[in-house]
């Protein structure tokens, strides 16, 4: 990531913190949220959003920014503020468009599309077709029932943490131990989910 010329020292520090693990990362996530939290007021006053809507749009902006920073898509070609504001603006436009055309769906479905990039097109469509059969609500409910440790481990894994990082934050000896435990947790989730899914 080339985060050189346009970044303020404090912004660089936040970005470096986001690339770390545990407390440092958490602290940096909160610093990032605080840094541009005034966008929420802008969303309310300039775009006429309700406070709740403006908060949601801004929180989604921060989450999206964190993901992009961690996966290296933020190249630092503009200031963090300009980049974040562009994401915020796009999300606001999306929300306004959805609201004005009554497309605001409460029961939205999830998609695994962005995780399929490693597969070739034929395999991708087979897996995508299978994933369309997923009962998202049931799977989500089972995930909250597999125990705190398992849940935390899977959440951190899904949030982009490596097994080594999970080992550090959750106090496991090695990344290998985490990998074994994580796969056990997935297996446990599958066993819990299966009966519901087969009804």
The verdict on 133 binding another protein (CB under 8 A) reads yes
Over the range 173-197, which residues count as b (16 or more CB within 10 Å of their CB) and which as e? eebeebbebbeebeebbeebbeeee
| Residues 59-78 within binding reach of another protein (CB under 8 A) | 59, 62-63, 78
Residue showing tokens 């609500």? 137
With contacts defined by CB under 8 A, name the span among 68-76, 87-95, 165-173 that binds another protein. Answer: 87-95
Determine the interface stretch with another protein among 48-56, 68-76, 165-173 (rule: CB under 8 A). Answer: 48-56
> Which of 15, 18, 40, 84: binder of another protein (CB under 8 A)?
40
Q: Pick the binder of another protein from 2, 102, 144, 198 (CB under 8 A).
A: 144
Among 119, 174, 176, 196, the residue binding another protein under the rule CB under 8 A is: 119
Q: How far apart are CA 48 and CA 50, in angstroms?
A: 7
79 lies in the site for another protein, by CB under 8 A: no
**Judged by CB under 8 A, which of 57, 156, 166, 178 binds another protein?**
156
* Buried residues in 128-149 as b, exposed as e (16+ CB within 10 A): eeeeeeeeeeebeebbeebeee
**Position among 1, 19, 50, 115 found at the interface with another protein (CB under 8 A):** 115
Contact flag: residue 198 with another protein (CB under 8 A): no
34 to 11, 27, 39: CA distances (angstroms): 12, 11, 10
Compute the C-alpha angle 151/156/157, nearest 5°: 100
């Amino acid at each position: 990531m080339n985060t050189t010329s346009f970044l303020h020292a404090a912004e660089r520090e936040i970005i470096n913190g986001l690339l770390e693990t545990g407390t440092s990362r958490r602290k940096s996530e909160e610093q990032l949220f605080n840094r541009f939290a005034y966008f929420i007021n802008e969303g309310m006053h300039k775009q006429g959003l309700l406070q709740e809507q403006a908060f949601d749009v801004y929180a989604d902006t921060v989450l999206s920014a964190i993901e992009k920073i961690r996966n290296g898509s933020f190249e630092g070609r503009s200031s963090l503020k300009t980049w974040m504001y562009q994401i915020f603006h796009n999300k606001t436009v999306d929300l306004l468009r959805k609201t004005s055309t009554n497309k605001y769906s409460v029961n939205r479905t999830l998609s695994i599309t962005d995780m399929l990039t490693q597969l070739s097109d034929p395999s991708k469509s087979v897996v995508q077709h299978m994933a369309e059969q997923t009962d998202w609500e049931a799977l989500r409910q089972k995930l909250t029932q597999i125990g705190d440790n398992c849940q935390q481990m899977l959440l951190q894994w899904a949030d982009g943490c490596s097994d080594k990082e999970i080992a550090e934050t959750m106090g496991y000896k090695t990344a290998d131990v985490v990998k074994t435990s994580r796969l056990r947790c997935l297996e446990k989730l599958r066993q819990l989910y299966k009966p519901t899914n087969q009804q």
